[in-house]
Structure 1
Amino acid sequence: MPDPAAPNLRQVLHALGPSLLRPLTTLPERPVPVSGLLIFEPRAPLPRVRDAILLAVGVGTTEAQATDLLAAAADAGHSCLVLKSFGEPVTELVAAAHRFGVVLLAADESVAWHHLAAMLTSALAAAARTASTPGTGDLFALANAIAAMVGGATVIEDPHRRILAYSTLPGQRIDEGRRQGILGLQVPDGPGYDEQYRALAQVSRIRRFPAVSGGLPRLGVAVRAGGEHLGSVWVVDAGNCLDSAAEQALADVTDIVSLHLLAARTAVDAARRQRVDLLRRLLADPDSVTEVAPRLGLEPNRPVAVAAFTVATGDTEDVLAAHAATRLADLVSLHCEAHYGRHGCALIEGTVYALLPSGPTPNAHRDLIADIARRAHTALRVPVLAALGSQVHGLRAIASSRADADLVLHALADRPGDPQPCQVATLEEVWAGAALSALARILATHEALPRALGPAVRSHDLEHGTAYASTILAYLNANSDITTASQRLSVHPNTVRYRLAQAEQIFGFDLANPDERLVLWLRLRLGDHLG
């Protein structure tokens, strides 16, 4: 007999939202109870846990193992099976699931299994306790319920200190800090607040905090799901009268808040993922503007610019660099949405692109990306490059603005010396370096050009231990002045003359020819980009 108090599958799916799990089979009209979560281990027998959700990690939809696992799950009493399809056909597997009476769910392929397991575990724990609470997703009603239970004005925040909901019960005092936070839906900056959030992040229990800047004391608790920080709840203790019973009441609703924040976040994540996909499509195919622009809430003919951000690391394939790029995308999206609405941003091959509609002043975009870059560097503690493409007259010309932004990023990355913590520029500010980056791309695609120019000189130096490339480059950088070049190389002028003469003989170019000098300088100057 199913446990009537157990959460059911519809509750769990509603809490997690359609972006994480979607049914492949039709959900039964009757409630499908869910008792817990299991992860498939091919080397161990399947546990007999009635009404469990089984995560089919590593099992493909077209494999015979998938059908066998469905049969085993049904025999073990499991209520549903979760797998990832990766675009594979599921028709036969869906038919098998109907035969065995097991609900088949597809997980979002981009979500890691351990992350999905943590989300499901938290949703199951909280869903079992929601019978007497407001409907999932109604955060303002939940804030009022907490304020009534605990006895103080309440706010619910996300991990970025944005206020998601606040209570409105009459007679409960608030202070100026909370008033300012509600007006801007953002907790004000201040060292006192920073210290409180650091302290709250280190514990899992209720914490008491003294008044900050003439405000009122508070109770605070961090909200987590499977170890992941989802936000926090703060209750004003106006008269220092909230006792241990109030603390217990706040602790009792933490799982409920976790469920609501999961639901709110998955809804936001689904919408954001859709905007990312739309922006990717627009950047790749500007002809799609007629279909994409209305869905992004953009006017096709409104002036727009593309901003580009990247983490300045030597290895873009590094795991830490990839993680930093993902966090950078979140930060850029957060700040751009605050200024221009939910147009979204997209992380494409390590670069974060964002659309910036025409601003109130010519420098508004430049100031914004500089502020974002500084904040990102402070938060991520890695060098950050930010570039602003030229403003174009409509979305159909967006490819031009993106190309400009890419050139600026290349120019910033190619600057000599150690990378600066935070570099920001427009095309007008780095036009010379951007032009060289564009020329490097052109030269790199023309393999038919004489190999004696640049790359062959470097190869000869590597093979024979000579220094022709550095000597030629120093000579050309010194405007063909032998004395200056010798000083920069710390060698005798006659050594420079000898090396240049030998190079002309070996490689067959003529330094007296201005065209050959120009192209040779470009090939040597851009050698790292030409392979």
Structure 2
Amino acid sequence: MDTRTLGELLDTLGEPALRLLTAPAGLTTPVTEVLLYDAHAPFPDRAPGALLLAVGVRADAAAALVDEAAAARMAGLVVRGGDGPSSGQGPPSGQGPSSGQGPSSGQGPSSGHVLASEQGPPSPQGLADAADRARERGLALLTVDEDAAWHHVHLLLAGAVGARPSPAGGAALGDLFSLAGAVATAVGGATVIEDPRQRILAHSTIPGQPVDEPRRQGILGRQVPGSPENTEQYRVLFASQGPVRLPALSAEELPRLAVAVRAGGETLGSLWVVDDGTLAPDAEEALAQGASTAALLLLRARAAQELSRHMTGDLLRRLLDGTAEPATAAERLGLAPGTPVRVAAFALKGAAAGAPDGEQAALRLLDLVRLQCEARYGRHACVLVDGVVYALLPGAYGRAGERQRRLAEDIVRRAGQALRVPVRAGLGDVVPEVAEVRGSREDADLVLRVLGPEETVAAMEEVRARAVLLRLSELLGERRELAAGAWRDIMAYDAGHGTDYARTLVCWLDAGCDMARAARLLAVHPNTCRYRLRQARAQLGIDLDDPDERLVLWLQLRTLAGLRSANA
């Protein structure tokens, strides 16, 4: 485990969401891990250097917790609320309700004392008393925002300390199978652990315990079969504060004993036990204890997954702006050397991006893009930068490129339905390795800029001509010598004399100097077109016989004046 000092932790995270109230041992105190407090688990005798998040405990009722944390040689305690003095800087810690109790980093501290629950902000005097107690015991005391979700605070602090959990919380989810087996042994019936969407995360395999056909089908499909009766049972379960006994729904099904898995006020899933009539006398108590442990494991898995996503997103951000070391980045992203990649960019269309809820919609778009990409590629790098969601897509040649375009189309369609706002996507050029990702990102941005009003998805190769003209217009406009020329005289003459020389010249040049085609574009007689060109030569001294002058004139009229035969 990496070690950071308390001062480094504060400098990394930033104020005002994390504030330091007192640090009796100084800011050089080492912090080795971040733990979530659990009132139902034994408090560790020793946890040197740990930072304890006081989930569910009011700061003005934390005196006993301060004493026990100090006795365990912890580095500090984090409580909710307060605008006390700060010696450090701390970042936004997220928003949302408190997400409950549970230990992290392998063990769950708890005091065994019945402490006041976290209801309402602590009083200023309560915070001051807690700070005094911490100062006496040599324990650092910090506070987080009232609105901060504890699991998000844990994610940020664990990341800052240097924890490196598995990409998808695999270790914690693996522990769920062990927990399911332990619960099945204690309760006396086959057990499954589900998430809030009724997906089966883990199940027991104790020999001799009966499993009925609906449970067998659910385990095989990793999903509880849906039915109106099932829906009603879940409603009853999630409305209950403890274990509930539920009747069999069919002749081939056995009754169930179930309990919701919660952390604070948030439902994380549920535990279900097949009840064949031989459950242990204390089955309900054992199941409730199992739910408490499951909450800790699910919180740890989610924090690990969110931290992994945050880290890969930050790595992609640095790749896109050219500040990451390519070889190291490719290895951390799981890409073999020489793997071709391309960048896909997704953005809300037009006014939707600047709407009051545009930022929230962009975050939801990030979640949707990440979900779809992970479904196809597994662990995946996506990041939101300046309102645009970028995804790094591997192996983009041939049919892989076609599949990626279909993926972008699918994401745009799903996002439009889910967000109720139009979304567009641009695919950059394929580059041969991660070191050239920045160029593919610039391509994807260009594609978004040149998409037509009715276009939603395009790859660079489909709109390259438009992209080149856009870049040329920017280049010509930036340089005085490139923006000067006869085109300005033509535009000024038309404005002063009511002529259409510029429009006529663009249509004639767009038509490849074919007079008949130019006349059709202008909807005039060819003789009218010839007359205008002769007048332009005579009045403005343009040499239309010089191919270089024709080329420069056409480029300037198309890019700087914005004229084209399509809008003639």
How do 1:509-528 and structure 2 match up within 5 A?
514-515=550-551, 516-525=553-562
- Partners of 2:291 and 2:128 in 1: CA distance: 36
Q: Classify the secondary structure of the residue corresponding to 2:147.
A: helix
| Contact 2:339–2:395 (CA under 8 A) maintained in structure 1 | yes
- Tell me if 1:173 matches 2:212: yes
One-letter code of the match for 2:129?
A
Q: CA deviation at 1:300?
A: 2.8
The Cα offsets for residues 194-234 of structure 1, whole Å up to 9 and x where unpaired, read as 9978996999426979979x9999888775555556x4336
2:239 is aligned, of 188, 192, 205, to 205
**Matched residue, 1:365:** 404
**Matched residue, 1:279:** 316
- Partners of 1:514 and 1:196 in 2: CA distance: 75
The Cα offsets for residues 362-396 of structure 1, whole Å up to 9 and x where unpaired, read as 33333333333333333333322223222222122
One-letter code of the match for 1:205?
A
From the superposition, tell whether residues 416 and 383 of structure 1 become closer, same or farther in structure 2 (CA, over 3 Å). Answer: closer
Greater radius of gyration (CA)? 2
2:147 is aligned, of 114, 131, 154, to 114
How do 1:409-428 and structure 2 match up within 5 A?
409-411=448-450, 414-417=451-454, 423-428=456-461
Q: Classify the secondary structure of the residue corresponding to 1:302.
A: coil
How do 1:6-21 and structure 2 match up within 5 A?
13-15=34-36
| Contact 1:33–1:79 (CA under 8 A) maintained in structure 2 | no
- Partners of 1:368 and 1:172 in 2: CA distance: 40
Q: CA deviation at 1:344?
A: 2.0
- Partners of 1:370 and 1:142 in 2: CA distance: 41
2:192 is aligned, of 154, 158, 167, to 154
How do 1:17-166 and structure 2 match up within 5 A?
36-38=56-58, 47=60, 50=63, 51=65, 53-57=79-83, 60-61=86-87, 76-77=129-130, 101-105=138-142, 114-116=147-149, 138-145=175-182, 149=187, 151=189, 153-157=191-195, 163-166=200-203
- Partners of 1:439 and 1:486 in 2: CA distance: 29
How do 1:374-389 and structure 2 match up within 5 A?
374-389=413-428
Q: Classify the secondary structure of the residue corresponding to 2:335.
A: coil
The Cα offsets for residues 156-182 of structure 1, whole Å up to 9 and x where unpaired, read as 2266x7653333344223547524433
Q: Classify the secondary structure of the residue corresponding to 1:114.
A: coil
Q: CA deviation at 1:265?
A: 0.7
One-letter code of the match for 1:406?
D
Q: CA deviation at 1:140?
A: 1.8
The structure with higher relative contact order (CA 8 Å, sep 6+) is: 2
- Partners of 1:37 and 1:384 in 2: CA distance: 44
Equivalenced residue count is: 430
2:432 is aligned, of 393, 410, 426, to 393
- Partners of 2:319 and 2:80 in 1: CA distance: 38
| Contact 2:189–2:276 (CA under 8 A) maintained in structure 1 | no
Q: CA deviation at 1:404?
A: 2.2
| Contact 1:476–1:521 (CA under 8 A) maintained in structure 2 | no
- Partners of 1:425 and 1:151 in 2: CA distance: 55
The Cα offsets for residues 221-263 of structure 1, whole Å up to 9 and x where unpaired, read as 775555556x433648698999xx9999877865554333222
Q: Classify the secondary structure of the residue corresponding to 2:560.
A: helix
| Contact 2:345–2:389 (CA under 8 A) maintained in structure 1 | yes
Unaligned runs of 5+ in 2: 1-30, 39-45, 67-78, 90-121, 155-170, 512-516
Calculate the TM-score normalised by the size of structure 2. Answer: 0.57
One-letter code of the match for 2:425?
A
- Partners of 1:379 and 1:361 in 2: CA distance: 28
One-letter code of the match for 1:375?
R
Unaligned runs of 5+ in 1: 1-9, 18-25, 40-46, 64-68, 81-96, 122-134, 488-492
- Partners of 1:517 and 1:393 in 2: CA distance: 35
One-letter code of the match for 2:310?
R
Q: CA deviation at 1:302?
A: 1.9
